[in-house]
C-alpha cells in the first residue's frame, strides 16, 4: 500500500489514464464503423464515384431522405459483385448505447446488386407485392424490401416499414437517367419468390421479358424428367 504522503502513483495507477484513453479510442473507432453522432454529408469525391459507377444502375432515394443526408456511398473502388453498391443515409449511433452492443440500424440503406438466382425461403416470414410495377419481397418484419428490376435486385434496409415503403417511391438511378415518378424496368429474370403469387403480381410475372418465368418452369420440369 502507498504511504499517505507519497506523491508518486503506483504503476497500475499511472496506467489508468493510458488505459482509459485506449478504451475511449476503441469505443470511438467501433462507433465510427457504424456512423458518428454528428455525421456529415458524403464527400464530393465519394459521391462522384457512385455517380460514375459503370456496370449497372445504382439506385438511391435522392440527396436527402426523411431529413437525413447521404453519409456514405459506394463506388467502383472495392466493388464486390456479390455485395453490390450501396448508398447510406443518416447515423446509427442514436439507437446504440455508448458502449455499443446493439444492432447498427440506419434510417435507410439502398443496395443495388446484380441478381443471382436464389430462393427467398431463408429470408423468414415474408410476403410478395408489386413496387413501382415490378415484383418485390417484404421481409425482416417490414424493415427490408427486395425489389427486382432490370438485371438487378434493389435491397432496401431501414429502421421502420414506413421508411422502407417511402424509399421505394423515391428510387432513381444515381449514375444513369431515370425518374422516381414512373414504374421501374421489368426484371429480365424470374425472381425466386417464396409464398403466394396472385392477382396483379401473377400477371406481371407471366409477362416478364422473354417469358423468363415460363422458361424457368420448363427447364425445371425437364430437369425433373431427367431425374425420374
Encode pLDDT of 42-61 as tens digits.
788 889 999 999 999 999 99
List all residues 6 or more positions away from 88 whose beta carbon is below 8 Å from its beta carbon: 70, 71, 72, 73, 106, 108, 109
Is 86 within 8 Å of 110 (Cβ atoms)?
yes
Report pLDDT digits (tens) over 136-182. Answer: 999 999 999 999 999 999 999 999 999 999 999 999 999 999 999 89
- Is the pLDDT score of 122 beyond 90? no
Q: So what's the pLDDT on residue 221? A: 73
pTM to 2 decimal places = 0.76
- Sorted by where each begins, the domain ranges of the chain are 39-227
Q: Crossing angle of helices 212-227/199-206, nearest 10°?
A: 80
- Is the pLDDT score of 15 beyond 60? no
List all residues 6 or more positions away from 214 whose beta carbon is below 8 Å from its beta carbon: 206
List all residues 6 or more positions away from 71 whose beta carbon is below 8 Å from its beta carbon: 35, 39, 40, 41, 42, 88, 89, 90, 91
CA distance 2 to 83: 58
Alpha-carbon radius of gyration of the chain: 24
List all residues 6 or more positions away from 126 whose beta carbon is below 8 Å from its beta carbon: 120, 137, 138, 139, 194, 195
The C-alpha cell at 177 is 437517367
CA distance 76 to 64: 22
Higher pLDDT, 211 or 25: 211
Q: Of the ranges 15-19, 171-175, 195-199, which is most confident?
A: 171-175
Amino acid at each position: 500500500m502507498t504511504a499517505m504522503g507519497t506523491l508518486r502513483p503506483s504503476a497500475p495507477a499511472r496506467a489508468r489514464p493510458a488505459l482509459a484513453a485506449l478504451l475511449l479510442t476503441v469505443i470511438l473507432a467501433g462507433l465510427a464503423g457504424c456512423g458518428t453522432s454528428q455525421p456529415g454529408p458524403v464527400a464530393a469525391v465519394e459521391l462522384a464515384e457512385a455517380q460514375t459507377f459503370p456496370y449497372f444502375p445504382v439506385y438511391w432515394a435522392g440527396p436527402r431522405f426523411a431529413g437525413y443526408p447521404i453519409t456514405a456511398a459506394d463506388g467502383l473502388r472495392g466493388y464486390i459483385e456479390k455485395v453490390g453498391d450501396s448508398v447510406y443515409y443518416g447515423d446509427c449511433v442514436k439507437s446504440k448505447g455508448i458502449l455499443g452492443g446493439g444492432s447498427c440500424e440506419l434510417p435507410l440503406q439502398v443496395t443495388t446488386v446484380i441478381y443471382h438466382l436464389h430462393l427467398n425461403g431463408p429470408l423468414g416470414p415474408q410476403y410478395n407485392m408489386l413496387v413501382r410495377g415490378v415484383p418485390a419481397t417484404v421481409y425482416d418484419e417490414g424493415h427490408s424490401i427486395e425489389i427486382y428490376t432490370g438485371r438487378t435486385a434493389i435491397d432496401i434496409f431501414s429502421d421502420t416499414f414506413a421508411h422502407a415503403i417511402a424509399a421505394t417511391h423515391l428510387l432513381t438511378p444515381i449514375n444513369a437517367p431515370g425518374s422516381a415518378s414512373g414504374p421501374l424496368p421489368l426484371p429480365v429474370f424470374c425472381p425466386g419468390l417464396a409464398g403466394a403469387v396472385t392477382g396483379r403480381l401473377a400477371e406481371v410475372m407471366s409477362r416478364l421479358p422473354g417469358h423468363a418465368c415460363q422458361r424457368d418452369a420448363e427447364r425445371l420440369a425437364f430437369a425433373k424428367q431427367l431425374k425420374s
